[in-house]
Chain A
Amino acid sequence: MVSPMYIIAAGLGGAFLLGLLPNKWRTIPYAITLAILGIMAWIAGSWLYAFAVQGAASVEIFTAGTQPPFAINFRVGLAEASLALLTTLVGLHSALYMKDTLFKQGRQAMAVLLIFIMALCGVIFTRDVFNLFVFMELVVIATAGLVLLSADRRALGAGIKYLIVSQLVSILLLVGIIFLYHATGTLNIDDMAAAQVNLLQGGAMAFFLLFVAVLAELKPFPANGWGLDIYESAHPAFSAIFSTATGGATIYAADKMLQIGGAEWLPAATAIGIVTFVAANIFALVQNNDRRLLGYSSVAQIGLLLTVAGQRDILGDAYYYVAGGILLAHAVSKAGLFWLSGLVAQRELTDWAALRSQPVLVFAFATFLALLVGLPPFPGFYAKWDLAHHLAAEGRLWLLGLILFGALVEAAYLFRWFGYVIKREARENGLAWQSVKADVAFSAVIVAWLLAYLWGHLSGHGNLLHAVPLLFALLFLPLDWLPAKLKNVLAISGLLYWFYLNYPSYDPLQLIFAAVMLPGGALILLASFQTQKRRVGFYPAAMLMFAGLAMLIVAKSSFDFFAAWELLTVGSYFLILRGKHSEPHALSYLVFSLGGAFLILAGFAIAAQGAPDFKLAALAQVAQPYAPWVFAMLAIGFMTKTAAVGVHIWLPGAHAEAETDVSPMVSGILLKAGLFGLFMLLITMGKQQLYGVELTYVMLWIGAISALIGNLMAIFQEDAKRLLAYSSIGQMGYAVFGLALMNHLGWLMALMFVINHYIYKSMLFLSVGGIAKRTGTRLMYRMGGLITLMPLSFIAVMIGIIAMSGVPPLSGFGGRWIFYNAIMTAEYRLPMVIVFLAGPIAFLYLFRLIHTIFLGQLKDEMRKIKEAPFWIVLPQMIFVVALMVFALVPGLALRKVDLYMTQFFAGNGHLNWEGLTISSDFGYWNPVAIMVIIGVIFMTLFLWLLFVNRKAQPVKQFNIVFSGERPFRPETTHFAWNFFAPYRKALGFLTQPLVTIFWETVSELLHSAADILRRFYTGNGQTYAIHLLGFVIIVYMLWMGGKP
């Protein structure tokens, strides 16, 4: 094995060699630079291979042939080797990226780059404090030199600020080092750590200076203006190295300092790190320059790494796994994003929409964002999972909360940016395309997916990339060039086959959810046949969502559950984002879902109490002080997905603005994931008390109120899809109410709703989507009288609303019947009032839907529209048949699950199914008899009317008794606009958008706070130096105050 010292020797030798070459030469010096960077990378790679694969112990390298304390020594272990490989690889790729700039600058710039990379490797390897100072100064000067390579004239200002601040830092560092030497008598880090520096007189203060100076290099919150300016103005390739390699090396140096300082300094590091992480993320909310935003994000990630370093005492051996995961995720994504920024011409966030001209770049961009935010299957996900569990085990909940809050803010502004890329219109010369730069950026994508596989392999919870559904979804990425119809067939058959494969292993409860999600999804996918184009991006997103759902149902451990939960969130986000105006709504959906997901993560972490692999069933045995909190967090997390009141504002926009066949998928199927979560939670944890308040009682009220609010809001909507979206909130409120009743029939009712809601909501969304496609509008008052032109859609909608309103012959009544039997035995009665009021209100918006679209007066411009496309009508007809069958024989689905449920409530309250009548403890219900009787009465009367009016004469549209005058125009005689005006006068006050206002003020608060506080960075170099000095003094006073 070649000694790592050759990395230093090669770097220096190369630089000096370049000095020898004549000025005019370009290609040869460039070739030498690449060769040397290659050699350095190869050495680091071979050492990493030795440590990782052959498990060699970390090796010490002595210089000057004498023992360490008296000479400088290097130590190369797994961490150092991987960091060195990261540095050299990023350096090599950046050199490739900066080919044109380096050619313009000549061999001197190449020499500086070589020394820069060599110095970074020095910072990583060295175990000597003063040697660390020398290498850090080398990095400072090299950075100052390389910053000037940038085409942006403002880089000069950034360079000056950087030098001023680094002068200050070097002064503190030197004073710290010399006094530390005086106190401990050695300059070697390991000896200093052994000498217990805090005890020796004067040593603590010296270490404080050293520690603060190294932290200042990490761009802590108050004193990081200079770092941001460099990110904004430097050459993107250099920024890539600066954020990944310098960031990584300096954080590792800080980690060495912490080894010297010992446990007493960990809280200080954590505090500074978490403040930086949260503040930088909040500031990034209001940035619209792309590189400055990436700067803020890098500063935030380094802050997070510092926090993790501050927790190294409780992380134990998982420390390198967590810190490595976050660092590598940050490094690869930042490098990739900076390289991408080189391809985009302008610097505004919206200018990145130019990426759309190359779908590959969009995929790269999505990969980097997912990697940075820590979505499955990337390393950040595993790292955040372990970090949360260790923090929760130690009871450091406020820290966990802050980290999750910061991560949520970061996800918000990053995916807002992704929304711009997908949705904003692109300038024609927006993309400065160069194949070399694109290849370098794409290499980062490949590394990202390799890391995903590696971290999955290393994680104790099983590799996500081994999950078949996820692989099936990812398979659609390379297949995206196929025609849409072929992919649709593949998707449907995949779903059905997976359902068929797992059919025997499902228990009755899972079977119902699986039936709704997988074959149900396949049924809705039928509607996707009607597109002609390739529909790039639809199938990977859809299959990702279905993969998440499929894995969610069979998840046994909390990790699989949470991974599936995030997968379906991400998949559905990309799906919803495809809608024409869906950008803001998709963003609010994602932020709410991720907020919910992080709550679930916190809940699982607290429940696990440090257990490595926490089974869902173990939720029942969670210790008392935590159980109610775990229940509350998980419940709120699941209820964000079922859009309970308070967290429902994302649903109307997301479901209404999605595409025709996406709305039913998202509304009919995705909401059930939340319900499945609640089911799992209630089965395992049952009733919980928090401060004497029964949590299921609170859920009861939330369910009732969301049922009322959802239905009430639905009445006053003018847009058909928004009406259906709000009605979903109402129906989900019903289901949550049923679950919260905590008795056998309540749960059965919730299951009834899962099936019913899926069938009629998908049907209604499909028909409204078909109508919107034909009429070109979703506003109900502009339609009317379509019954003659679109009869099949009319039938679907009529059957749908009859079922939904709970009128006897159809399956809706079954749900209501079970509901009534359930509330008979419920111990709380007050919420019933609200649910009874919410019931009939459903009539209002259902009638409004069918009246304004199909009945009433046909408008002139709609005279010649045809029936909805065949592929959209077909699923609707299948749903109609399904509704009829389910209405006639509800036992088909419910009988087995009814038996299965008896185990939860000690057998009382279950239904008995003998013969055709279904009877409970209180009442009975014979669906077949009802259907037959009503059918007979109806047919007799209908035949009688037909016989009497056999000569009835169909009349034209305006032939109505209009008290003698002739109706002027269809618009004036079609009563549709502001349909329930009197109702608004009576109960309108209930629909004040209080929740929307609340959430808007929260986000407005964050944005204005960020906007005001960021003025803190005035741009003046000296002010930044004063900030740094202030930071040092503040930490000093806090530290002095803290010391006993």
Chain B
Amino acid sequence: MDWIAMATGFILILMGLYGALTERNILRIIVSFTVANTGVNLVLVAVGYMHGRTAPILDKTVPVAEAVARIIDPVPQALVLTAIVIGLGVTAMMLTYAYKLYEEKGTLDVSKCRDLKW
């Protein structure tokens, strides 16, 4: 049953990529990429999941002694946090470019800036 999370993550990535590669409007591309990033983050977290275990917080319910048997893998959790932040950074950059594109070319259509080719 625990593969559902990962499967949905993969499906989200595919949907996000499809949107990003077929949409013309840059804002839609950015949103699609965000969806894809969410999918990736979901996969990241799903990899760390172990059946029947709890969050890696050592408090009264999970004393230090039984930590090894009770908690799930904390490393993907740490990685996903960094991945989210980096996803945000890149999305912010894309938004800036979207703004500049509109200011420069008066359109949000990505296929309009094709003057650098061949």
**In the complex, which residues 127-167 of chain A have their Cβ closer than 8 Å to any Cβ of chain B?**
130, 134, 137, 140-141, 144-145, 148, 153-154, 156-160, 163-164, 166-167
Q: Mark A1023-1044, 1 if CB is under 8 A from B, else 0.
A: 0011001000000000000000
* Closest beta carbon of chain B to A1020's beta carbon, Å: 5
B101 touches A156 (CB 8 A): yes
Binding site for B on A (CB under 8 A): 130, 134, 137, 140-141, 144-145, 148, 153-154, 156-160, 163-164, 166-168, 170-171, 174-175, 177-179, 181-182, 187, 225, 228-229, 232-233, 1014-1015, 1017-1022, 1025-1026, 1029
Q: What is the CB-to-nearest-CB distance from A163 to chain B, in angstroms, rounded to a whole number?
A: 5
Contact assessment for B17 and A171 in the assembled complex, using a CB-CB cutoff below 8 Å = yes
Q: Is the CB of A160 within 8 A of B97?
A: yes
Q: How many Å lie between the Cα of A958 and that of B76 in the bound state?
A: 104
Contact A163/B13 with A157-B114, A174-B83, A1019-B115 known, Cβ cut-off 8 Å:
no
**Which residues of chain B from 1 to 57 have any CB-CB distance to chain A below 8 Å in the complex?**
13, 17, 20-22, 26, 29, 33, 36-37, 40, 43-44, 47
Please determine whether A156 and B44 come into contact, CB atoms closer than 8 angstroms.
no
Q: Hey, what's the 0/1 contact readout for B50-90 against A, CB within 8 Å counting as 1?
A: 00000000000000000000000001100100110011011
CA distance in complex: A1026, B22 (Å): 10
- Which of A159, A171, A178, A229 contacts B37 (CB under 8 A)? A171
Q: Are A158 and B116 in contact (CB under 8 A)?
A: yes
Closest B residue to A1022 by beta carbon equals: B21
B101 x A1020 contact (CB < 8 A): no
A1015 to B111, CA, bound (A): 16
19 contacts between A and B (CB under 8 A): A134-B86, A137-B90, A141-B90, A153-B104, A154-B115, A156-B97, A160-B97, A163-B93, A163-B97, A164-B20, A164-B110, A167-B37, A175-B40, A229-B116, A1015-B118, A1017-B118, A1019-B116, A1019-B117, A1019-B118
B40/A137 in contact, CB under 8 A: no
> Which chain A positions have C-beta within 8 A of B117?
225, 1017-1019
Contacts of B104 in A (CB 8 A): 153, 156
Give the docked Cα–Cα distance between A148 and B26 (Å).
18
Expressed in whole angstroms, the minimum distance between the Cβ of B48 and any Cβ of chain A is: 8
A179 to B40, CA, bound (A): 12
Interface majority SS (helix, strand, loop, mixed), chain B: helix
Question: Within the complex, what minimum Cβ distance (angstroms) separates A756 from chain B?
Answer: 53
Indicate if the CB atoms of A181 and B115 lie closer than 8 Å: no
> Please, which residues of chain A bring their CB within 8 A of the CB of B86?
134, 137, 170
CB-CB nearest 9 A-B residue pairs: A1019-B117, A157-B113, A1019-B114, A229-B116, A137-B86, A1014-B118, A167-B33, A178-B47, A174-B40
Interface SS of chain A: helix
Q: Which residues of A contact B94 (CB under 8 A)?
A: 160, 163, 167
How far, in angstroms, from A1015 to B75 measured CA to CA in the complex?
46
Assess the B47–A167 pair: CB atoms within 8 A.
Answer: no
Q: Which residues of B contact A134 (CB under 8 A)?
A: 82, 86
Inter-chain CA distance A156–B114, complex, in Å, is 11
Least CB separation from A1013: chain B residue: B118
Determine whether the beta carbon of B29 is less than 8 Å from that of A232. no
Q: How far is the CA of A140 from the CA of B86 in the complex (A)?
A: 11
Residues A1020 and B90 in contact, CB atoms below 8 Å apart: no
B47 x A1020 contact (CB < 8 A)? no
- Per the bound structure, the CA–CA distance linking A154 and B101 in Å amounts to 10
Considering the complex, give the chain A residue whose CB is closest to the CB of B93: A144
Check A175 against B43 for contact (C-beta < 8 Å). yes
B90 touching A167, Cβ below 8 Å? yes
Q: Name the residue on B nearest A157 (C-beta).
A: B113
Asked if A130 and B36 sit within 8 Å, CB to CB, the answer is no
When distances are taken between beta carbons in the complex, the residues of chain B under 8 Å from A154 are 113, 115-116
B21 partner, pick from A159, A166, A1018, A1025, beta carbons under 8 A? A1025
B13 touches A157 (CB 8 A): no
- Known A-B contacts A170-B90, A171-B37; A178 and B43 likewise in contact (beta carbons under 8 Å): yes
- Contact present for A178 and B116 (CB under 8 Å): no
Q: How far is the CA of A411 from the CA of B101 in the complex (A)?
A: 39
Which residue of chain A has the shortest Cβ distance to B10 in the bound complex? A175
Q: Of B21, B75, B87, which contacts A1029 at CB under 8 A? A: B21
A162 to B43, CA, bound (A): 25
What are the residues of chain B within 8 A of A159 when measuring CB–CB? 97
CB contact under 8 A between A164 and B44, given known A156-B104, A157-B114, A1014-B118: no
CB neighbours (8 Å) of B97 from chain A are 144, 156, 159-160, 163
| Bound complex: CA A163 to CA B90 (Å) | 8
Q: How far is the CB of B113 from chain A (nearest CB, A)?
A: 3
Residues on B with beta carbons closer than 8 Å to the beta carbon of A1017 = 117-118
Chain B positions within 8 Å of A166 at CB level: 90
